[in-house]
Structure 1
Amino acid sequence: MPSNHPSYALIFDMDGVLIDNTPEQAKAFQLLFRDLGLTTNARQLLRRLNGMPATNILKTVFTNPVPKKKLEEYAAQRELLYRVLYWNKRRELAGLTRFLEAARAAGLKIALGTGSAPETIGYIIDHLNLRRFFDVVVGKADVENGKPHADTFAAAARKLGVPPERCVVFEDAILGEQAAYKAGMRCIAVLSSLKEKDFQAPLTTIQDFTGITPAQVLELLAQQPETPKPSKAMAQRNYMKL
């Protein structure tokens, strides 16, 4: 499989993949829960539901239904807390820029597929000067259903003009991995917050981007041509009723 083939694509989640920000995300949720008088453990919650839009995550912590507008207000409050906590910590995962430069040089197409809103995306990728690498950016505003649905990654592939079987998704979350499989794609798991055993069937796992090359990614695709089917057991354990 030639490494400069133009019709292969890499699709990156943002939180926990481009950056290692899950601890600050959890702290922001925990501070919000404290203000709301909730005892939910944010770290445990994100282990199961990380990757979903914040409003959907928040929906799971209330016993009674909460109006959409109120959930959006809570999500905005959490976003402000997160930005304050993460303001001086914004830095890319080790090796990311070099990897993206190599992928671009190899002729691969590159997309960002995240559940974040446009302003949150810009807060990270523009501050870190990463937008220049992405042919396509797909976020919360671009799809009807966020992860664990396939919409985010499917939209990215469609905009890139690359068939799903030629796409590799980089994900740090269980639900993101499942979204990739639902979209008919393979996945590489980034172990920024979870362990290898937490994932279903990634092509490989990485701690950061220092020990992998685009050529190795394409070789993994050739070695493992079948896309895993989404795990019903993991769906029951992690999706809950969403």
Structure 2
Amino acid sequence: MKAFIFDLNGTMIDDMEYHTSAWLRLLNNELGGSFTWEEVKKEMYGKNPEVLVRIFGPERFTAEKINSLSIAKEKQYQAEFLPHLKLLPGLHEFLEAAYQKNIPMAIGSAAIPFNIDYVLDNLNIRHYFKTIVSADDVVLSKPHPETYLIAAERLQVPAANCLVFEDVPKGAEAAANAGMKAVIITTTHQPPEFDGLTNILHFSGDFTGEFYNKILYN
């Protein structure tokens, strides 16, 4: 592989529980819903506006209201998660080793820049990434391949030579649709949930283990 592309939430940091909690509070307490944890978790992919439209339909909110709800949800998430913000085990060492080997790296996330900046700047890891593709950079969210194809183009590396790190089935599907192999971090979804996807090389709970040495040094 000539380049690495990382999803962010749930892949680099174990924060999806906090996203789910923030969504659940917004949907039920502020918007009058009666959703369960599992129902909310199932809908948490793509851009925030897409989540709201999937749940409430296209006519419920104005674009301005959707934006304000999205920011309110992210502020709640950030406040709750900040004391726990850290990279998954082994990831800092992996990023540093890849950086020293001049392997180009990117972030390809459905998060808004407000959330990506929160992670990169609080953890001081922005320098590892040559480019960042956020929700603001794409028209179509995962599982459409646009996020990962833009990242590959900006890295100037053919899609087939990019390895994606993901945590959700829709993200792994996006990698497959882009012609990319994927490594799955099992923070929120387990291997059986990825059945049918043939582009997955490895499952692991974090970035430790011999597999990560092999893809760096072989």
**Shared fold by TM > 0.5?**
yes
Amino acid of the structure 2 residue aligned with 1:196: P
Instruction: Give the Cα–Cα distance (whole angstroms) in 1 for the partners of residues 158 and 182 of structure 2.
Output: 15
In the alignment, is residue 23 of structure 1 matched against residue 17 of structure 2? yes
Choose from 32, 50, 55 the match for 1:56: 50
Corresponding position of 1:79: 74
Instruction: Determine which of 135, 140, 160 is the counterpart of 1:140.
Output: 135
Structure 1 counterpart of 2:189: 194
Partner-residue secondary structure (3-state), 1:204: strand
List gaps (5 residues or longer) in structure 1. Answer: 1-6, 221-242
The match for 2:155 is 160
Residue pair 1:102, 1:214 contacting (<8 A) in 2 also: no
**Deviations along 1:157-210, whole A, 9 cap, x unmatched?**
000000010001000011111111111111111101111111133111010011
Note the residue ranges of structure 2 that are not aligned, 5 or more in a row: none
Aligned-pair identity in percent equals: 30
User: Is the 1:50–1:173 Cα contact (8 Å) retained in structure 2?
Assistant: no
RMSD of the TM alignment (CA)? Answer: 1.9
Amino acid at match of 2:137: D
* Aligned residue number for residue 210 of structure 1: 208
> For 1:161 and 1:38, how far apart are their aligned partners in 2?
45
2:10 paired with 1:12? no
- Compared CA separation, residues 192 and 152, structure 1 to 2 (3 A): same
Q: Secondary structure at the match of 1:168?
A: strand
Report the 3-state secondary structure (helix = DSSP H, G, I; strand = E; otherwise coil) of the residue aligned with 1:203: strand
Change (3 A) 1:92 1:43: farther
Distance across 1 between alignment mates of 2:92 and 2:68? 35
Q: Please state how far the C-alpha of 1:63 moved relative to its aligned partner.
A: 5.1
TM-score where L is the length of structure 1: 0.82
| Aligned-pair CA distance for 1:212 | 4.5
Residues 54, 212 of structure 1: alpha-carbon distance in 2 compared, 3 angstrom cutoff: farther
Query: CA separation in 1, counterparts of 2:31 and 2:44?
Result: 20
Post-superposition offset of 1:44:
3.4
Conservation of the 8 A alpha-carbon contact between 2:24 and 2:40: no
Whether the aligned pair in 1 keeps the contact of 2:98 and 2:216 (CA below 8 Å) is no
2-side partners of 1:14 and 1:102: how far apart? 19
Residue 175 of structure 2 is aligned to residue 180 of structure 1:
yes
Q: Deviations over 1:96-154 (max 9, x none)?
A: 11011111223311111111111211101110111111111111122222222111110
Q: Distance in 2 between the 1:219 and 1:104 partners?
A: 13
Residue 88 (str. 1) matches residue 83 (str. 2): yes
2:121 corresponds to 1:121:
no
Aligned length: 213
After TM superposition, give the deviation of residue 49 of structure 1 in Å. Answer: 3.8
* 1:232 matched residue in structure 2: none
Q: Is the CA contact (8 Å cut-off) linking 1:106 and 1:214 kept in structure 2?
A: no
Are 1:110 and 2:108 an aligned pair? no
